[in-house]
Amino acid sequence: MTGSTNPYGQNPYGQGTPSGQEPAGAANPYGTAPGAHEQNPYGRPEDGAAPWGAQAPSPSPAAMPGVGHPQGAVPGVGMPAPARPGSITAAFWLIVSAGLVQLLSTALGLLAANTPEGRALLEQTMRDAVGQAGLPADQASEMEAMMLGAVPAVLTTTAVLGVLGFLLYLLIAVKIRGGSRAARTVGTVLAVLSVLMLLANLAMGAFSVFELLWVGLGVAGIVMAYRKDATEFMRLKAWERAGRR
């Protein structure tokens, strides 16, 4: 009925309003809902942080500077180029010197073989080898003629192997100077084989001062490449190369 009073008294929630609307300025009995400009009592997440209840992804070790890398540095990022120690330089020149001595020994041997005296000595050595084989006279004659005919090819092969040997020494020296541990490993294997061949030649009486010199220089170069500062240099160079990939 229009104008009648509410038997229960005044509306405790304020004046009547149209359905679905809230009177302006009316207080929310349950408190004010957090708005865009209202502070959250539990704090506000920082920009870019994970929402409440969600776990932020853990950074990978590769994205965390200093994790898993020497001296707290990511390889190739902010790391100065490692200084080359004196042991690496010494190893380089010792191995190069070994290759030069080997090449010089090969050249001198080829020059001696092409002189009349050297050619006669070479032929006599081949005849002695055929005679020690105990072959019949006709077979021994054929074997001797075949061996003498192969002398030019043998000399050419010796020259090619001498040049290839020097290039191999040079390659290993350059790679070790650049900090390659693989080159050091290859050089170690070759040094061991060189020592075994030297011992075999000494046992057979085929002693050569040049061979002793180049084997000694090569072994000394490899030993220098295993010094502590050289090993540390190679480790840092490996990290530097890994950072460029």
Q: Delimit the domains of the chain by residue range.
A: 86-240
pTM of the predicted structure, to 2 decimals: 0.63
Q: Are the CB atoms for 171 and 180 separated by under 8 Å?
A: no
What confidence score (pLDDT) does residue 63 get? 44
What confidence score (pLDDT) does residue 152 get? 84
The pLDDT of 219-241, averaged and rounded, is 93
Q: For 54-64, write each residue's pLDDT tens digit.
A: 455 555 444 44
What confidence score (pLDDT) does residue 19 get? 47
Of the given ranges (4-18, 138-152, 197-211), which has the lowest mean pLDDT? Answer: 4-18
Of the given ranges (51-55, 107-111, 124-128, 133-137), which has the lowest mean pLDDT? Answer: 51-55
Task: Quote the DSSP letter at residue 15.
Answer: S
* DSSP secondary structure, 53-118, as one string: TPPPPPPPGGGSTTSSSGGG--TTSSPPPPPPPHHHHHHHHHHHHHHHHHHHHHHHHHHHHTSHHH
Identify the band that residue 82 occupies on the pLDDT scale cut at 50, 70 and 90. Answer: confident
- pLDDT above 90 for 115: no
Identify the band that residue 17 occupies on the pLDDT scale cut at 50, 70 and 90. Answer: very low
| CA 119 to centroid of chain Cα atoms | 48
**Mean of per-residue pLDDT scores for the chain:** 75
